[in-house]
Structure 1
Amino acid sequence: MPMPRKVCLLAILLTVTLTPVDMHAEPAAWYKWRSKLNTHVVCSQTWPGEGWEQMTTAYRDARCEKPKKN
């Protein structure tokens, strides 16, 4: 049994409308975190825990070598 025309058009409209939402996402930034106890620095996307402070620059890679452009 063929799908009614209105239902088919509605399905196409919803698909076209909702698809671009996913296309604008970008990966989370990486940050350098400095230990408050010593001079140790790590690169992470998330807070390593208490005793760490985030340094200011955001990076695009897991080695914190490529600064993120705004």
Structure 2
Amino acid sequence: MKRLSLIALLPLLVLALSAPAAPAPFYLWQSLVTGRYLCVAHNPGKGWVRHAGPYNNAACRSH
């Protein structure tokens, strides 16, 4: 029984190992309250609007 379950899980393991992992894109967010800018890969919450992006680095620069 153990051998059968290992054989059944083998294709899932192969798929999981072959899946490419990429960093999350960064966006430049602007505060609606203060007007300041923030560069993060996730939504900072209420009061922020996405200003520009996506960027591939945490400095929100195109290079």
Normalising by the smaller structure, the TM-score range is 0.5 to 0.7
**Larger RCO (CA under 8 A, 6+ residues apart):** 2
Runs of 4 or more consecutive aligned structure 1 residues displaced over 3 Å after TM superposition? 13-17
Unpaired runs of at least 5, structure 1: 1-6
1:9-67 per-residue CA deviation (whole Å, 9 max, x = no partner) reads: x6xx748842322xx22100010000111220010111112110012320111111136
Larger Rg: 1
- The TM-score normalised by the length of structure 1 is 0.61
Share of identical aligned residues, percent?
A: 29
Unpaired runs of at least 5, structure 2: none
In structure 2, what is the equivalent of residue 30 of structure 1? Answer: 26
Q: CA separation in 2, counterparts of 1:15 and 1:42? A: 39
Aligned residue-pair number: 56
In structure 2, what is the equivalent of residue 3 of structure 1? Answer: none
In structure 1, what is the equivalent of residue 18 of structure 2? Answer: 20
Taking a change above 3 Å as real, the CA distance of residues 47 and 15 of structure 1, as seen in their structure-2 partners, is: closer
Q: 2:44 aligns with which of 42, 48, 58?
A: 48
